[in-house]
A and B are shown apart, each in its own frame.
Chain A
């Protein structure tokens, strides 16, 4: 294979970057039939000077994220196939009890995602890695498949294969000077070696990605951040093994460090130091850098505090006479606002793809995912957690990226609770009710930048009323970022009435002569309904999985309101705008910032709304305003679009009002509701307890691209005749039947799920479901069964888990087990499919 500085004048796709990601992308594009691929890099080959060249190159497959684990496992398969993987095993060790608990949680993730691993005692750790001091550790999480890889070699082989296929031209030492667009789409890549006409570009430039994307007017939200590494040697005990790596890698999680053998040296890396962020614009040029642009001068004082931890654990070899710090760098890696990669087509520019913020362990998997995505629109692994379109505009600003990367840096090896909230760069987006909510002692959780009350401390008094029906959570981990007040608010809603701030909804107005056809094309359900009717519908991917689920309101013949969750609003907006017809027959307006939403639900909801809705449209009887319809009403003085719908399964409305009158709406409803005992309720009720009792599915939890509507129990009785995205696979899924079915399971009596100390434990989601014999459950597609959502069901007096189960286990009454913190608790399949456990006939909601 040769590389040159001349570039072709045309290409089907230009991949910028020849690190592990760019190399994997060109390889998989070629495999999928792409030709005329041009790959550029500013640096020389095989090591162009980016983060791939100085990475520590080891892979621990287990992550709490299913998507990341899947990408990692796929990457390991690819590295192995290329002969660039050496299995050495790895142990994550715990020095303190909190970490020991975290390792137990890791074991659950390992089982859920199907990676063999086990918990081991200090003695076993010392057997595996004889120079570790077992006296200072409580135990370890042993993953035999942990490996080191050679990403430079793997990348070279991938380029070679693509070149041999006649698909690839590589040009090294070429600077990209501009990215040209025409009508919002890529048109050319300008370089110092000539211009390349192309409509598709992939930015796989690691820490330089934001700089390159900006040339096209797109933003890739990541920041270069320093990760410190030192090499200590020569150490005779390591040298005499005669190999690069003979001992398992140690991740000293409590010290936020890792230690691995590298020939005669021990390499120590740290995520413990202060976050050291760099500006993409200030990365030195290849010429100006002493080592390479991404290997910056070591700042000793930042590393010093870690030395003691390293010596305590590895004193027996680090203290060897003659062993010194032979190499030390501040390596740059990419960090994003939420720590996940940034993949997919940029919202700003069609045909401009991002493949950035990817670790060595995910590189080849990301290459495959992106190539599939670019080719068929639908990767095998669901990409939503890494989709670049997930970011709202404020989340793509440098200030936000810096704030979250700073806060997120020490989470890399940290113990992160699944409900843990970010503290920096808040508040960003607040509803008009915010001042009232604060006064009520709201505990705010953040979604898509929105501040949403999770519960209200002002409702603590409800515990006097409902406390006997609310089991406490004795274990700190289970109770973290949670309050029994949530359950109390739930019961107050079920018995009286509650108001819930839903202003975080993303809302779009779609109108014009082509609006109906356009929505028909995207929605699985029949959109062509009478004006004033609501329609809940999944949107499918081309492969028939879930892209989104949302509510459509037909406001007029040619006009619709789209209401979708705040968490997915940015991705949904991307999906809608990218599918707009070019003929201008549909106009799209994002009205999220114009509309606030207050939910009003509970048996007294009609009484409350009637009390403040005195005008001619005030007939709120079930006959006049039935379930599943929308009407414009006036609440006090506030014009409101009221939707008779519910995600918590009770009588009531979503009240959509002009944003600036939101506070008036809140006060009107609160005042009118006071005689009926109205309470504000948080998202804890809306998103978890109320939803789970009704068996409602949540995008990103139960619903993603890897599951189809038949499996989720959301298949409709009839398939509409109109064509829509994902129809063919949807029809096929209806034919073949589900490989797994979404089920609701219940934990037993508290004693049945109590740990060794007798404390009842509550799974939080992500845990594996096992057979009664403790066997891992996987369906015929190889997907393991795990808890997609978990939460209490106060009205049912139980604790619910949702999970997809293969047909043989998806039988109501079946006894299975859930593994939580390395213990197994019995669970019962209480419901198969979508029929709610609470109020199965929906009489409350429809009354």
Chain B
């Protein structure tokens, strides 16, 4: 039997599919509220273990991990899989630490057997690591980009069994716990924008971003930047695209004066279309982009702004006259 950790009531399809490829029997573990047994069953989960404890009303990484460790000790699953999210990784890490088990994070593929052979994504995908995981219970977090084996037909529609599990917890297990929760206010514009106009070393100064702001405004997008820009104090860290900043997947990513270090690339590589503007035709960003303009962004961007304005005024011209007419 293999356990998967369910976060926020929603099963993670990749995790469930991967779990089923590793063990015919997949069960889930959920915390607190309704685990969605019907939904889980659709993904082939036969039972869900619902962890309940009054100390776990608020998210507490340690307590969540301790509870999972206790459940694992009771169920002796072959492995535990979770999505490689903040909570998923954290809970598994705590459980692993408490149970004295190894943990492989950010896996993109897992092959069963003993040991498990797996491929980890390092540095947001800049390197792949082939590794072996040997343990009585194998703990793995699954990267979003995981190569999921073709799943067999979903199990019969219905509901999976629900079992309650009450761990033995003490207040010391919840010394670190969420006391406030709020919606994200910063960085969301960047994360969700369909167009991101991003600038790096080539922008040259904080003031240099004015033209990027202007272009982003025209396109209804957000402004991003590279780590160089953050390090120079030109932009706040919340604007930083990259491994240690925000990882984005917009429709269009316009990389201006950005050389394309791996640290940046892994933050923007999921964009559907990448356009690079750079004086250096051999910059890594240019080589990896879909489209490129070779030139100084301070010449190219103003020309683009002017071009867009010109097209719009031509476009809007007749509309205005129609209204007049």
Contacts and interface: CB of A to CB of B under 8 A. Distances in A.
A658 interface: no
Interface string A276-295: 00000000001000000000
Contacts of B283: 44
> Which residue among A44, A46, A172, A286 has the maximum number of chain B CB atoms within 10 Å of its CB?
A44
A173 B281 CA distance: 9
A46 B282 CA distance: 11
6 contacts: A43-B282, A44-B280, A44-B283, A47-B280, A172-B281, A172-B282
A6 to B, nearest CB: 14
Closest 10 A/B residue pairs (Cβ) = A44-B282, A44-B280, A44-B281, A173-B282, A43-B282, A286-B282, A173-B281, A172-B281, A47-B280, A44-B283
Contacts of A46: 279
Interface residues of B, number: 5
* Max count, chain A CB within 10 A of own CB: residue among B279, B281, B282, B283: B282
Interface in B251-281: 279-281
A173 B282 CA distance: 8
B183 to A, nearest CB: 36
A712 to B, nearest CB: 53
A173 B286 CA distance: 13
Contacts of A173: 281-282
Interface residues of A, number: 7
Contacts of A286: 282
A286 B280 CA distance: 13
A44 B260 CA distance: 15
Contacts of A47: 280
Nearest to A42: B282
B292 to A, nearest CB: 12
A595 B279 CA distance: 61
Interface string A12-50: 000000000000000000000000000000011011000
Nearest to A3: B281
A49 to B, nearest CB: 9
Given A43-B282, A173-B281, 6 more contacts: A44-B280, A44-B282, A44-B283, A46-B279, A172-B281, A173-B282
A44 B282 CA distance: 6
Interface string A323-357: 00000000000000000000000000000000000
A47 B280 CA distance: 8
A798 B13 CA distance: 101
Contacts of B281: 44, 172-173
Contacts of A44: 280-283
Contacts of B282: 43-44, 172-173, 286
Contacts of B280: 44, 47
Interface in B266-311: 279-283
Nearest to B233: A234
A236 to B, nearest CB: 15
A172 B281 CA distance: 9
Interface string A293-327: 00000000000000000000000000000000000
A176 B317 CA distance: 56
Nearest to B259: A291
A821 to B, nearest CB: 48
A97 B282 CA distance: 51
Interface in B130-169: none
B263 to A, nearest CB: 11
A172 B283 CA distance: 13
B293 to A, nearest CB: 14
A784 B281 CA distance: 48
A745 B64 CA distance: 97
Nearest to A173: B282
A44 B280 CA distance: 6
A626 B280 CA distance: 74
A183 to B, nearest CB: 37
A286 B259 CA distance: 13
B36 to A, nearest CB: 48
B207 to A, nearest CB: 14
A847 B281 CA distance: 77
Nearest to B281: A44
A46 B283 CA distance: 12
A43 B281 CA distance: 10
B180 to A, nearest CB: 34
Contacts of A172: 281-282
Nearest to A43: B282
A325 B280 CA distance: 27
A44 B292 CA distance: 15
Interface in A516-574: none
A46 B294 CA distance: 12
A286 B283 CA distance: 10
B287 to A, nearest CB: 9
Contacts of B279: 46
Nearest to B278: A44
B45 to A, nearest CB: 46
Interface string B170-199: 000000000000000000000000000000
Nearest to B231: A326
A566 to B, nearest CB: 48
A44 B286 CA distance: 12
B13 to A, nearest CB: 37
Interface string B2-18: 00000000000000000
A172 B279 CA distance: 13
A815 B281 CA distance: 65
Nearest to B282: A44
Interface string B60-84: 0000000000000000000000000
Interface string A475-504: 000000000000000000000000000000
Interface string A164-175: 000000001100
A47 B201 CA distance: 15
A44 B283 CA distance: 8
